[in-house]
Structure 1
Amino acid sequence: MRILGLDIGSKTIGVACSDALGITAQGITTIQRKTAKDDWQRLQALATERRVTRMVVGRPRHMNGEDSENVKQIEAFITYLKRQMPAMEFVYWDERLTTMMARQVLMAGGVRREKRKQFVDKMAAILILQNYLDAQGNTLL
């Protein structure tokens, strides 16, 4: 069983996928958002290709635990996806600080400033999914 991790923004969706054992997360792509239908079709194709049964969706929150302003748009999109993919399981996961951490990882990796923008959403999706996988207790040790 593979799991997709999603970092949903207004312009892009960062996408990561777990390995078959559910231990590690790898970045797949960053989807340039168009319409809900186009976004769904891209996600459906990725899920089908990788035999995904669950999607972990980053839920943006403020440091005090309250939902961020764009949660309503994310929830509306996930409601749409649930109608289009009724067999798919969707799980929200706290994504506090993942974008900041993604930027730091890219900077530490020597990724130039002008290149970071195209990788930050995918890296945030990796962090969201890896945090989820770690919390499930699936490890090699």
Structure 2
Amino acid sequence: MPKIMALDLGDQWVGIALSDTSLIFAKPNTTVNINDIEEFLSNFIEKENIKEIVIGYPKTLRGTESEQTLKVLNWKSQVEKKFPEIKFVLWDERLSSKRAAALKPAKTKDEKLKSHAIAAAFILDSYLSFLSSRI
């Protein structure tokens, strides 16, 4: 069964979360350097049977676009060309990083890296809840 992946894109790091095959649970997976993300996706998509990728869409708290929003839109259009078989979905990520930081404040680099994956899991959890409410 296919899974859904979520990405929390940052300037340097990308947090990654993965659903289970029943599309109920979102679990933090890993954090990848932004320079390595396309290679990571090339390997991970097939290995984990990914058919859909949810990308955190960073609107401001007022719902407007920021410089980071435009970076995400640009990146999405690039990877859609590289992975045409994958459905890419933008999903509101407001406060996901703050929620991840509040869960366990990062004191070390490893904890900070893990917080990106936790933020991606919050994004994915919200998306999975939306999908289940449509049934």
Alignment RMSD (CA, Å): 1.3
For residue 18 of structure 2, what is the amino acid of its counterpart?
A: C
1:105 equivalent in alignment to 2:103: yes
The 5 Å alignment of 1:52-71 reads: 52-71=50-69
Counterpart check, 1:132 vs 2:127 = yes
* 1:135 positional shift: 1.1
Q: Distance in 2 between the 1:89 and 1:117 partners? A: 29
Structure 1, unmatched stretches of 5+, are: none
Matched, 1:4 2:2: no
The equivalent residue for 1:23 is 24
Aligned amino acid, residue 69 of structure 1: E
The normalised TM-score by structure 2 is 0.91
Q: What is the aligned residue count?
A: 131
Offset of residue 44 of structure 1:
2.0
Mean Cα deviation higher: 38-47 or 57-66: 38-47
CA distance in 2, matches of 1:69, 1:77: 13
Q: Within 2, Cα distance between the matches of 1:28 and 1:44?
A: 16
Q: CA deviation at 1:69?
A: 1.9
Q: Would you say the 8 A contact 1:103–1:116 is kept in 2?
A: no
Gaps of 5+ in 2: none
Q: Percent identity?
A: 27
Query: What is the SS of the residue equivalent to 1:113?
Result: coil
C-alpha displacement of 1:45 = 1.1
Equivalent AA in structure 2 for residue 128 of structure 1? I
Match of 1:92, SS?
Answer: strand
- Pairs within 5 Å for 1:36-115: 38-107=36-105, 113-114=107-108, 115=110
Runs of 4+, deviation exceeding 3 Å: none
SS of corresponding position for 1:129: helix
Whole-Å separation in 1 of the counterparts to 2:26 and 2:93: 15
Structure 2 match to 1:123: 118
Q: Secondary structure at the match of 2:66?
A: coil
SS in 2 for 1:63: coil
CA distance in 2, matches of 1:134, 1:3: 13
SS in 2 for 1:93: strand
How far residue 77 of structure 1 moved from its aligned partner, in angstroms, is 1.2
1:104 Cα deviation after fit: 0.8
